[in-house]
A and B are shown apart, each in its own frame.
Chain A
């Protein structure tokens, strides 16, 4: 009799623990692949989101941040700039979202582009590549990229 009860209990324990298939594999983890290097201390800049974008051909996604003046100008959307605006465009390679079939999320960090406007129309552009934020050597596209970043319209956020 006792034996029988033990066997029954064992069967219940084994089946109930073995059958919980619903477990997220990477539960509690951060997206380390996409995370920004700590040395950048990005949050301390206090930038706000201006807009975000996707490039379906390249499989990348980007978020444009800026300081208060930059955001205000992007909302006005008249294409002009004033001194003291700071922008940061962060671009990631996309990866499939393991938690939702039908979504893509940031993967490998690709680049950080920074634009600062100074007095008398002086604009400073810098680009850094990858997780190690290596300064981008090729300056051929600087003017084109600056123009692109400054022309971005803000996303509607009521």
Chain B
């Protein structure tokens, strides 16, 4: 390369670097606002549990965000602000006690499961904030705390009565309603699920329910052919949950019907929710869960996110 060309190349490079440098300085003045609103109903737990949760989650999931100087350098700061905004929306430990007790329990199990599966805290966050990493020893502490919340005991009369009441109504019910309840995303109750084949069952000792997971013909064929990652379009799952009704000998039968949840695969139609349409209908009245809860679709996807390399599906099918 002639000396002259080399010289002009150097000038150009210097110019580019200076422009970038000026831009870098300028963007420092464009700053998103991250405030810490008052903490009204903070999460409470034994100190060793609270410490782990605070360390691993509070920067993005509470009103006690603790930003370090390197978080505040642009353009990183934009990303940080975005994460905090989203994080607080999904789960805010500062508002913890404003949730019903059952929801608090559910959220805690979900949070620990997100940690176990490595979905949370985010890798991009722990890479810089290494102190937020949850060690295997920390996980033992969290799991033990959750286990201590499980009380397996014979059902009380309230649970038995709830089933009896439901059962009598259901026994005499007229089949096939004409107007089936529908979720805001357009998914209507599918009464035919009970005629489908079974994919699996599960005992949920975290919330005292038991479940049967049904699959439609497309799903069953996919299992037979072992093409389930991803599941084919047209796949539908129905997950039915009942109360556990335990007797004194430890035998558990299904109690009152709690809900049925559907997942419908259509990678075009439901592209915004990872290719799945989610729906949940509660009680025999089939009350759509998302009615009046616009965040429902995100709630489903967020909880299913740890399964992202498994097409967002938790159930491991049993070939029948």
Contact = CB atoms under 8 A, between A and B. Distances in A.
B307 A54 contact: no
Interface in B205-221: 205-207, 210, 212, 214, 220
A156 B317 contact: no
Contact of B257 (A49, A104, A158): A158
A127 interface: no
B254 A106 contact: no
B257 A157 contact: yes
Given A102-B146, A103-B202, A105-B200, A22 B318 contact: no
Given A61-B203, A77-B171, A156-B170, A101 B112 contact: yes
A99 interface: yes
Among A20, A55, A103, max chain B CB count under 10 A is at A103
A128 B194 CA distance: 26
Interface in A24-38: 24, 26-32, 34-36, 38
A61 B112 contact: no
Nearest to B223: A30
Contact of B316 (A26, A36, A51, A58): A26
B127 A19 contact: yes
Contacts of A19: 123-124, 127
A99 B223 contact: no
B113 A156 contact: no
A56 B152 contact: yes
Contacts of A51: 253-254
A19 B212 CA distance: 35
A100 B115 CA distance: 11
Contacts of B166: 156
A104 B202 contact: yes
A97 interface: yes
A49 B239 CA distance: 13
Contacts of A22: 117-119, 123, 305-306, 308-309
Among A19, A21, A76, A99, max chain B CB count under 10 A is at A99
Interface string B309-320: 111001011111
B36 interface: no
A77 B256 CA distance: 16
A153 B250 contact: no
Interface of A: 15, 19-24, 26-32, 34-36, 38, 42-43, 48-49, 51-58, 61, 63, 75-77, 94, 97, 99-106, 153, 155-158
Which 9 interchain pairs have the tightest Cβ spacing? A102-B206, A28-B229, A21-B118, A35-B319, A56-B250, A57-B250, A54-B252, A156-B257, A27-B310
9 contacts: A23-B118, A27-B309, A49-B212, A54-B210, A57-B250, A106-B200, A106-B318, A155-B254, A156-B170
